[in-house]
Structure 1
């Protein structure tokens, strides 16, 4: 007898096969269905909702009873991570809010101009044919001409080059193009191909992957693509993915393949749009936090999660693209930029390089807010860095109606007392001008700041008892504020914020605020002493700075000091792709930055506790 079931995913029009005893989440993920599982599938986020329209599954679990209403349960809603395949055939559907979607992100960022000096270079040569009077080897003949044009010192030649040089020279009628990476010959191509040199810069974020295709002859960016990081189905945050990777010997390989596949998809999209031949892409430069760096390279990440949280390698490392499965020229190189520490990666370094942080005239701060937020401070004497585990609240994982900034996400909120109705009213905007289905991080900040400024919640985020409003409703003994009424939404129910959501936000913002405060106090600097505060990353690009200050997420100071710089991680990676000098600067800065481990810093615990409340004097 077969021990598998046929499962029809109705709204995707796709059949998948499920093995008895496996959770629907595992079955769907293994079939390539991108379903949200922000907690990694341990039943702690409630985001992996499915509707079983036909078929019997395992009994409801306590997690499901906690996250699903009685009405939802009656309609067949289950959590995919909890419900198991038992027998027979199934028809399931996945609600829109449970599908991983392409979301609005900062795919570009501020980028300093750099002199074009890539590590990949081509040298076109023409040589005399071999003859009885000139019996130099084919390779010597090529290198003699190369050295007339460029100075390279010792040239690294491997057996592959020795194999291809005879035919390359003769097919090109004694002309050829030698492709170098540093002083290593990657390949030799017949004729003149010197005007066709491309590279790809990649930012592997916890939530998304961004890629830029760059013409290394002109320095121009010819295409940009991004997509959600498919590893998100195995956990929205770094720790969830590390835990999954070390649980089973094959899991690390699975996570690596997912992100390699994502990079290849982005490369395919870019070459499809531009007509660039993948054989003319010779290097991929990768930035990412340290966990993403390890998972991309297939390095066991377990020691990043164990004290003293050290990475396997700090310096930049390379591999042939073919070895790890990146589909560019078969001799192309993948270069992973250096990291600073276990939780400050090459993305933070790239941020710093892109904004020229080490050359600030006066103390300056850089903040990249995400599930793992990096903070760098140039004190004027040294550069300090720390990392704060803010968790995925800013991206909606632990918020009841939370979601990323995909179509249907409320991304801006303004709450005010409307005298015409004698009650509080709400104005909001929605990504894609669609009907709202949830709320993303920027709107969460707006909502909490507005609730606080209007006196609807106190400094601990609790709803005040003396407020009378139709928008304050009680469900399951919890007060909730209605952002959008059910009649306005695409999910036919109120989109609300409750005390638990506010508490999740306060925990996340406290981690970021405490990290900032520790660095400032460690350096004996105040926010007023800062000349500039760079806010990097997709999340930072879309937040309202005044509301972020109102909630205490960002330091209270002159708002003119804040500079939104977008995705400077991709900008820094692209600068490194274009310039060997910049790459050297990455290595120098990685050694120069002083990492502050917050878990053992004497100030962190108290700063975190102090930051759990909303700042005073804003009501």
Structure 2
């Protein structure tokens, strides 16, 4: 056996000769960022070899000076003898995303207000079918010696007016003790359906004031959990973190591939349930002093892949033509079926998907955006790890998905990270000195850059002449922030390590820019084809809603200037944040909204871009700043003097 000492984590592990270093770290639950899932294409899994020898090779992702210092790619390394490894703190730009982040009361109120507006505007019922009632049962005697279960059923039938009562085994196990803790005075929580009720919880005494639900958005990069008071409908608290599945790949394709490997599906399911959602729930319970048994209803939204992995359902056929998902509609679920840290009998509803790459996060987003009831033509664009687009109104809704990759949430970018504290979210560049001015989330020192910051940066680099319209750095600029490596790949220094006491400079390379141009090109071309498929163009669009994890400070003007969004009237654009979470929250607090969510899933039409005749031509044309046909962007044409 060979010993590996991860000095940065103070952990030791024994493995077999020839084992892959990245897999060893994963098994030890040491997070090493590997967006490409270990196929040696992203270069983000750099670690430092402090002692010993390994079987590895130098790649283009490792600079000469890094190689001399002992840096290697974990995914490209086999262990051959005892070694010491340091996982650089630079990886904290991704590790940071795994930390649990608390609630923002202002944004929590925005969730409530947007949902309330949808409910009131469209006359939806602000009610659920979950009820909590305090009851006093007759205490047993020798003359009245029926079973505890029969005693409860008799009371429900005689006093609450329901003919039938149903409950799971865990409720039956609680009955004998709970009934006698307070002389058969108990509170029952139940779901009512016509003349039948299903018991979800039994508590000693009167606890009618405590009844909660949870809305969950499972993103490919981030997961958000929202605790809701089912009486007042208010958001009590919210917590988020990175999706722990990210260690198995940054995008859905890499995770689907990993799921088909031995134990891969179990690892991915465990990562999202046990390592992500349950810790988020526990953090909220502790903070708010809440008993998990009082959490009796959940609504969960995620893309088709995330929904499948959440349930532990085999998903590999989804990526193979003809791209068939295992399911679209939510099966009947209870929390105990998948091991969630809530009441075992809690009802769980999974937002319906539309197709292989348009999932429940989009149907929930469409619900919250009100497209289904609008007279206006609305273009809905979700800029998450995957790019999904919906165009429509109350009469029709067309949808598509773009292979944008994780760039909008910082993935595929050398210094990229999700929109959390320390992420650069705004950038401006002085035209004379080429020095950037940075604004970070949380007003702290920068540790990376998120999607909105990348958009600003590329736009500023274009209008200041640092890059040309292909996204290539100008070779004749004499400035310390512009440099080229031994392979003639250019990079722009966003922050020198000396400025912020960093281990390494924060840079954006030509490879990063190219990745982002492809991502924005996918979105623009997808939207263009979707609108064109109906014989229309962007002039017919009345509103453009931008949703997703790209950050609250998305600059619409800059997004248009780089060719991400169409060059139309600016007042038509609105950033609506995490629409998936708002839609999940709506379905949690309103049975009418949940029914509408089901209808949206059934009524939305899906366009498969991969087989659409003109899509590839549109995509290639859009992989330019802003576009090969600059006539589509008159604002940029004027600004650049072309």
**Structure 1 residues 451 and 325 mapped into 2: Cα distance closer, same or farther (>3 Å)?**
same
Q: What secondary structure does 1:576 align onto? A: helix
Confirm or deny: 8 A CA contact 1:54 1:92 kept in the other structure. Answer: no
> Contact conserved, 2:425 with 2:551, CA < 8 A, in 1?
no
CA distance in 2, matches of 1:150, 1:112: 32
CA distance in 1, matches of 2:69, 2:293: 52
Residues 161 and 493 of structure 1: CA distance in aligned 2, closer, same or farther (over 3 Å): closer
Please give the secondary structure, in 2, of the residue aligned with 1:317.
Answer: coil
SS in 2 for 1:102: helix
How far apart, in 1, do the equivalents of 2:308 and 2:346 lie? 20
Distance 1:411 1:540 in 2: 7
Question: Cα–Cα, structure 1 residues 97 and 434, in superposed 2: closer, same or farther, change >3 Å?
Answer: farther
- 1:391 and 2:402 correspond: no
Range with greater deviation from structure 2 (70-79 or 114-123): 114-123
How has the CA–CA distance of structure 1 residues 484 and 130 changed in structure 2, closer, same or farther, with 3 Å as cutoff? closer
Of 586-595 and 446-455, deviating more is 446-455
Show the counterpart of 2:8: 11
| Cα shift at 1:399 | 2.6
Residues 388-410 of structure 1 deviation map (CA, whole Å, 9 limit, x = unaligned): 12012233333333333455443
Task: Give 1:417 deviation, angstroms.
Answer: 1.9
Residue 353 in structure 1 maps to residue 364 in structure 2: no
Shift of 1:179: 2.2
Q: Deviations over 1:83-133 (max 9, x none)?
A: 222222424242323663334899756431155423432233334445677
Give the 3-state SS of the residue equivalent to 2:340 in structure 1: coil
Q: How much has 1:138 moved relative to structure 2?
A: 5.0
CA distance in 1, matches of 2:10, 2:441: 26
Given that residues 535 and 541 in structure 1 are in contact (C-alpha distance below 8 angstroms), is that contact kept between their aligned partners in structure 2? no
Deviation at 1:298, TM superposition (A): 0.4
Q: Which has the higher contact order (CA 8 A, sep 6+)?
A: 1
1:439 positional shift: 3.1
SS in 2 for 1:534: strand
Indicate if the aligned counterparts of 2:93 and 2:447 stay in contact, CA closer than 8 A. no
Instruction: For 2:573 and 2:342, locate their aligned partners in 1 and report how far apart those are by CA, in whole Å.
Output: 39
| 1:410-448 deviation per Cα after TM superposition (whole angstroms, max 9, x unaligned) | 332212323xxxx43322223444544443322221122
1:560 lines up with 2:571 in the alignment = yes
User: Which of 574, 581, 592 does residue 592 from structure 2 map onto?
Assistant: 581
Q: 1:258 to 1:304 in 2, by over 3 A?
A: same
**Residue 479 of structure 1, aligned match among 483, 490, 513:** 490
CA contact (8 A) 1:199 1:215 kept: yes
Query: Cα distance, 1:140 vs. partner?
Result: 5.2
- Classify the secondary structure of the residue corresponding to 2:260: helix
TM-score (norm 1): 0.91
Contact 1:112 1:355 in 2 (8 A): no
What residue in structure 2 maps to residue 41 of structure 1? 38
Q: Which residue of 2 aligns with 1:288?
A: 302
Tell me the matched-pair count.
Answer: 608
Conserved? CA contact 1:97–1:403, under 8 Å: no
Indicate if the aligned counterparts of 1:370 and 1:392 stay in contact, CA closer than 8 A. yes
Select the residue among 349, 356, 362 that pairs with 1:342: 356
Q: CA deviation at 1:207?
A: 0.5
Contact 1:316–1:587 (CA under 8 A) maintained in structure 2: no
SS of 1:570's equivalent in the other structure is helix
Would the aligned equivalents of 1:24 and 1:81 in 2 still touch at CA under 8 Å?
Answer: yes
Counterpart selection for 1:322 from 323, 336, 341: 336
1:175 counterpart residue number:
185
Q: 1:441-476: per-residue Cα shift (whole Å, max 9, x none)?
A: 222211221222234433222344665555433322
Equivalent residue for 1:54?
Answer: 51
- Report the CA distance shift for 1:580/1:4 in structure 2 as closer, same or farther (over 3 A): farther
Structure 2 counterpart SS, 1:548: helix
Structure 2 residue 526 is matched with structure 1 residue 529: no
Contact 2:385 2:405 (C-alpha < 8 Å) held by counterparts: yes
1:524–1:154 Cα change, 3 Å: farther
Aligned to 2:588, the other structure's residue is in SS state: helix
- Tell me the distance in 1 between the aligned counterparts of 2:422 and 2:258: 30
Give 1:112's match in structure 2, choosing from 105, 112, 115. 115
**Residues 168-198 of structure 1: CA deviation (Å, up to 9, x unaligned):** 5454434333322354223433433322222
Match of 1:500 among 486, 502, 511: 511
Could you say if the C-alpha distance between residues 99 and 495 of structure 1 is closer, same or farther in structure 2, counting changes exceeding 3 Å?
closer
219-228 vs 526-535, which deviates more? Answer: 526-535
Q: Distance in 1 between matches of 2:502 and 2:292?
A: 43
* Residue of structure 1 in register with 2:230 after alignment: 216
**Cα distance in 2 between the residues matched to 1:482 and 1:497:** 7
Report if the CA contact (8 A) 2:93-2:416 is conserved.
Answer: no
Stretch of structure 1 that moved more, 305-314 or 448-457: 448-457
Matching residue within 45, 64, 67 for 2:61: 67
The Cα of 1:48 is off from its aligned counterpart by 1.0
State the alpha-carbon separation in 2 of the partners of residues 499 and 171 from structure 1. 68
CA distance in structure 2 between the aligned counterparts of 1:406 and 1:124, rounded to whole angstroms: 43
Deviations along 1:238-278, one digit per CA (max 9) or x if unpaired, are 00000000122x11011101111111101110011000111
Q: For residue 255 of structure 1, what is the aligned residue in structure 2?
A: 268
- Contact 2:375–2:393 at 8 Å: present in 1 too? no
Quick check: 254-263 or 607-616, which moved more? 607-616
For 1:125, the equivalent position in structure 2 comes to 135
DSSP 3-state at the match of 1:20: coil
Contact 2:413 2:512 in 1 (8 A): yes
d(CA) in 2 for partners of 1:153, 1:339: 36
Whether contact under 8 Å (2:49, 2:83) holds in the other structure is no
1:142 to 152, 177, 188: 152
Mapped to 1, the partners of 2:177 and 2:87 lie a distance apart of 57
Instruction: For 2:425 and 2:572, locate their aligned partners in 1 and report how far apart those are by CA, in whole Å.
Output: 24
Contact 2:299–2:588 (Cα < 8 Å) also in 1 = yes
* Residues 449/191 of structure 1: CA separation in 2 closer, same or farther (3 Å cut): same
Asked whether the equivalents of residues 35 and 98 of structure 1 are also in contact (C-alpha less than 8 Å), the reply is: no
* Matched residue, 1:457: 467
Provide closer, same or farther for how the CA distance between residues 537 and 48 of structure 1 changes in structure 2, counting only shifts above 3 A: same
Q: Is the 8 A contact 2:90 2:503 kept in 1?
A: no
Deviation for aligned residue 1:305: 0.9
Select between 484-493 and 341-350 the one with higher mean Cα deviation.
484-493
Paired with 1:210 and 1:551, the residues of 2 have a C-alpha distance of 30
Residue 612 of structure 2, aligned match among 591, 601, 614: 601
Contact 1:379 1:523 survives alignment (8 Å): no
Taking the aligned partners of 1:407 and 1:164, their CA distance within structure 2 comes to 44
TM-score normalised by length of structure 2: 0.88
Question: C-alpha distance in 1, partners of 2:501/2:445?
Answer: 5
Aligned counterparts of 1:122 and 1:281: Cα–Cα separation in 2 = 12
1:29 counterpart residue number = 26
Give the whole-Å Cα distance in 2 for the aligned partners of 1:159 and 1:13: 44
CA distance in 1, matches of 2:235, 2:434: 48
| Structure 1, 194-203 or 39-48: larger mean CA deviation | 194-203
Deviation at 1:364, TM superposition (A): 0.8
C-alpha distance 89-521 of structure 1, shift in aligned 2 (>3 A):
closer
CA RMSD of aligned residues (A): 2.7
